[in-house]
Amino acid sequence: MSTYVLVPGFFFGPWVWEETGRVLREAGHEVRIVALTGQGSGSTEGVGVETHVADILGRIDEDVVLVLHSGATIAGTAAADRVPGKLRHLVYVDTAPFPDGMAQIEFLPPEVQAAQREQIRVEGHLPPPAFDDPSVLGGLTPDDLERMRRLATAQPAPLVLEPARRPDPVPATPRTLIASSFSVDQVRAMVDAGVPAFSMLAGPGWTMLDLPTGHWPMLSRPGDLAGMLRQI
């Protein structure tokens, strides 16, 4: 049996992984869902990348499968870089590891970056979106969307604006991408085009899997996502 450490992406607390975690536990696995400081509940004041790195490292001992969703990539990748010998496998769910020095906000188009920087300047954090973009909401029910909107909380600004430093070379931990709101073929095209946010997916050592749905497969296809994690 395996030990899975599940890390939520931006705006959500551990609840977002509950159903996938339940399926894994029923199959006999150990599941640890990380509660990230200031995300999902509590104040965001003073919370930065290193805060979340510490949150994640606190749930890792030996021989774990670390699973990162979406915005968890910055802190989660930094944590993984520091303890590669403790990881059996590293899984990215609808996200990818960024190169050294790249911040989460740099993944976005310039106009969206500008809008988010203004929100952060005015509010001191990044408020959750309206969750109304159909391109990323595939498979979600009205009840899912109501729960997401009700439970989403602001994102600490440093998690949006600060990069994490990466070693050179990066550890050769076995790693898998599960693509859900975009396809593996699209990922490979972006790698070939030299898109910075996907540059770390070049070269050997990667397994890439398609799970067609929206950006939150732990809500829209929790059993199928658990099945993929078990196979990994």
**pLDDT band for position 46 (50/70/90)?**
confident
Task: Give the tens place of pLDDT for each residue, 195-230.
Answer: 988 999 998 889 999 999 999 999 999 999 999 999
Among positive and negative, which fits the CA dihedral 184, 189, 191, 192?
positive
Would you give the distance in Å from CA 25 to the centre of its chain? 21
Task: Annotate 149-195 with DSSP letters as a single string.
Answer: HHH--PEEHHHHH------SSPP---EEEEESSS-HHHHHHHHHHT-
Q: Which domains does the chain have, with CATH numbers?
A: 3-231 (3.40.50.1820)
**pLDDT band for position 62 (50/70/90)?**
very high
Q: How far apart are CA 136 and CA 182, in angstroms?
A: 9
pLDDT, residue 45, reads 81
pLDDT, residue 52, reads 96
pLDDT, residue 103, reads 95
Distances (CA, A) of 191 to 61, 109, 203: 32, 17, 10
Q: For 183, how many CA atoms within 13 A lie in the half-sphere containing its CB?
A: 3
Contacts of 172 by beta carbon, 8 Å cutoff, 6+ apart: 84, 205
AA letter at 227: G
pLDDT, residue 225, reads 98
Would you give the distance in Å from CA 189 to the centre of its chain? 21
Query: H helices within the chain, ranges in order?
Result: 18-26, 49-57, 73-82, 110-123, 142-151, 157-161, 184-193, 217-220, 222-231
Average pLDDT of the residues in 23-46: 91
Task: Give the tens place of pLDDT for each residue, 165-179.
Answer: 899 999 999 999 999
pLDDT, residue 209, reads 98
Average pLDDT of the residues in 31-41: 92
Q: Which three-class secondary structure state does DSSP give residue 203?
A: coil
**pLDDT band for position 24 (50/70/90)?**
very high
Task: Give the tens place of pLDDT for each residue, 79-113.
Answer: 999 999 999 999 999 999 999 999 999 999 999 99
Q: How far apart are CA 224 and CA 20, in angstroms?
A: 9
pTM for this predicted structure: 0.96
